[in-house]
Amino acid sequence: MLDRALENLVHHSHKLDLIIFSFAKDHADLDSWLQSHIDAGPDASIISSFIDTKRLRIDAEHSVMIINLPPRLELVAQFVGLFPNLQILELQHQPGLVDGHIPPMVQQTLRLHCPQVKKVIINEKDISEVEQSKEG
């Protein structure tokens, strides 16, 4: 169903600066859906057609772990990498972050798979500033 909704949206994508995905339940289907787009690649996935989308927000209920589940983090990063001109990624409602600490693996994974993203916000914390201060 989500793919059909995206196909309907793509015709209006020049008006979509922001796309928000809300994942309410943790299903194996989520991983397989992400993987299907990754397997299709940038030439065949509908995601790559959203060339005007600059900002992506993924709202995930606390049961839908991304940050503290390395295999899913890898899938999400690869999926995000399919948005050709994405500049800002927000991952909201991520559980298990002690004192807002973002593990270095998160930054490394995102930088590897979606280098076009310049700003990353996790649970309202801008981690791109942290990343830039380490580089400079």
Whole-prediction pTM? 0.89
Of 80, 64, 70, 61, whose CA–CA distance to 106 is shortest? 70
Give percent of the chain above pLDDT 90. Answer: 58
Q: What is the pLDDT of residues 4-55, one digit of tens each?
A: 999 999 988 778 899 999 988 877 789 999 999 999 999 999 999 999 999 9
Q: Which residues contact 67 (CB under 8 A, 6 or more apart)?
A: 73, 91, 94, 96, 97, 102, 103, 106, 122
Reported confidence tier of residue 136, pLDDT bands at 50, 70, 90: very low
- Long-range contacts: 26-29, Cβ < 8 Å, 24+? 26/61, 26/63, 26/64, 26/65
Say whether 126 sits in a helix, a strand or coil: strand
131: left (phi over 0), alpha (psi -120 to 50) or beta: alpha
75 pLDDT higher than 70: yes
User: Mean pLDDT throughout 105-130?
Assistant: 89
Distance from the Cα of residue 29 to its chain's centroid: 17
- Mean pLDDT of all residues belonging to the chain: 88
